[in-house]
Amino acid sequence: MNFRKFVKMFIPRELFKKVEPYGHLLEAVLFNILYGFPARKLKVIGVTGTNGKTTTTFLIHRMLHEAGFKVGLNTTVAYGAGLDIKSQMEHMTSLPVPKFMKRLKELNKAGIEYLVLETTSQAMAQNRVWGVKYYLSAMTNLTHEHLDYHGTFENYRSAKVKMFEWTNNNTKGLRAGVINADDENTKYFSDAVAHPLTYGVKAGDIKAKDVKLSSDGVNYTASLKGVDYKIKCNLSGMFNVYNSLAAVGVGVLLGLNSNQIEQGIAALESVEGRMTKIDEGQKFSVIVDFAHTPDSFEKLLSELRPVVGGKFIVMFGSAGRRDEAKRAIQGEIAGKYADIVVLTEEDDRDIDGNEILSQIVEGAEKSGKQKDKDMFLILDRTKAIKYSFQLAKDKDDLVLLLGKGHEKTIERADGEHPWNEIEVSHEQLKKLLK
């Protein structure tokens, strides 16, 4: 048991939340001193938002690498320097301060100039990234998430905006932000920096036109002040039009030319646990994705529904000790688009998994789903994956496994257990085919 968990056993949760930021601030000051303020030697490009942070971070990182920059990466999925990327084993986006400082120091030793850093609202609110001087910031979108921690959407938004305020206070940086113009919270982020650059499909300084979606990716033209960028992104879905547009914006602000931006974005083939296709020769299709918020459910399921010719089977759960309000919403959205929903565990932690599932069921029933008819509750995630595959029979059927994506552990009442959704899916398909 680590010290933080030990302390939380004896301090009431609400009190702990109030004092925690001060503890992290003290920790951040101490370890910045010990490691020589390593972030100051890096030009940090921060990426924040509710959904799309990881993919956008990967796109920016690869674009800069292809353009010849010495660039590092730190995301929910992976970290590293150049193309020497390692899987992120920790069950969190923003690391504990000591490990984060050590990682930054390693990037310094590797001669890294730029760091593309996925940054969460909790990391900002808790001062875990204190000492980072953001050179440039990017915002993907802002929707319902993490209200269990922040309490209100306004607090959640303020924590995100703080990164842009820090960016604006860095006189050695660009004092600029790349912001989604199609998001209703655009103004809060644009007002926080001296030089906002907006992007979008409906509005923005950089606008996408002639958008073509396919199972192999997206193609479109991004236009800015008479300059056209012919973008080919190998990641499918309308949401990846937005993610890649954010990368275009970063490229523009850093002075990359159109060839560098176009070739850099096209160079990224995939992101682990994001629309990852699983193929063992089975008749039906299987996709693993990290989607775990109502907004990501709506965007992903609404885009997949029209292209699924057979049964659309969606398996998911909802994390314990996280935003309870989203559970019924997730259930209602999944029930609306899927033919069959399979509900299971997803980091239940010390919360009764059956209680979590019952909250999801309430929403799914609003969309007409019925238990043991087109909605099945299987708490063990491995068994739920197996059952989901058994429900699929034809080549036009699609099984979509949501919520775990790239993660390498699953949290239960007795702690973390090894977990790899992609490997488990391959194993279960092999058994089924036998």
pLDDT of 8-18, one tens digit each? 555 566 655 56
Residue 108 has pLDDT above 70, yes or no: yes
∠ CA 165-171-177, rounded to 5°: 45
Percentage, residues of the chain above pLDDT 90: 65
pLDDT tens profile 378-403: 999 999 999 999 999 999 999 999 99
Work out the average pLDDT over 83-91: 75
Give all strands (DSSP E) within 18-94, no chain letters. Answer: 43-48, 71-74, 78-81, 84-87
Report the DSSP beta bridge partners of residue 285: 398
Does residue 45 contact residue 117 with C-beta atoms inside 8 Å? yes
Q: In order of start, what are the domains of the chain with their CATH numbers? A: 3-266 (3.40.1190.10), 276-433 (3.90.190.20)
Does residue 272 contact residue 405 with C-beta atoms inside 8 Å? yes
Residue 50 has pLDDT above 80, yes or no: yes
- Quote the distance between the C-alpha of residue 46 and its chain's center: 14
Work out whether strand 206-214 and strand 217-224 pair parallel, antiparallel, or are unpaired: antiparallel
Q: 């070739």: which residue's tokens?
A: 263
Pick the most confident of 83-87, 90-94, 138-142. Answer: 138-142
Q: How far apart are CA 149 and CA 137, in angstroms?
A: 23
CA distances from 233 to 146, 186, 239, 272, 406 (A): 29, 24, 11, 15, 20
Exposure of 394 by Cβ count < 10 A (0-12 exposed, 13-18 middle, 19+ buried)? exposed
Please give the DSSP secondary-structure letter assigned to residue 371: B
Residues 6 or more apart in contact with residue 175 via CB below 8 angstroms = 167, 168, 193, 194, 195
Structure tokens at 339: 């033919």
pLDDT of amino acid 321? 81
Does residue 198 contact residue 204 with C-beta atoms inside 8 Å? yes
Does residue 81 contact residue 113 with C-beta atoms inside 8 Å? no
Closest CA to 161 of 134, 127, 192, 182: 192
Does residue 351 contact residue 383 with C-beta atoms inside 8 Å? no
Residue 2 has pLDDT above 60, yes or no: no
Q: What is the DSSP string of 377-399?
A: E--SHHHHHHHHHHH--STT-EE
pLDDT of amino acid 360? 96
Q: Which residue has the higher pLDDT, 373 or 5?
A: 373
pLDDT of amino acid 137? 97
pLDDT tens profile 299-335: 899 989 988 999 999 999 998 887 788 899 999 999 9
pLDDT tens profile 144-189: 665 566 678 888 899 899 999 999 999 999 999 999 999 999 999 9
Does residue 375 contact residue 410 with C-beta atoms inside 8 Å? no
Lowest mean pLDDT among 141-155, 237-251, 284-298: 141-155
pLDDT tens profile 398-430: 999 999 988 888 999 988 899 999 999 999 999
pLDDT of amino acid 13? 60
Lowest mean pLDDT among 7-11, 264-268, 371-375: 7-11
| Mean per-residue pLDDT of the chain | 90
Does residue 170 contact residue 132 with C-beta atoms inside 8 Å? no
Q: Which residue has the higher pLDDT, 355 or 29?
A: 355
Residue 7 has pLDDT above 90, yes or no: no
Q: 């084993």: which residue's tokens?
A: 89
pLDDT bin (cut points 50, 70, 90) of residue 3 is: very low
pLDDT of amino acid 1? 43
pLDDT tens profile 185-237: 999 999 999 999 999 999 999 999 999 988 788 999 999 999 999 999 999 88
pLDDT of amino acid 121? 84
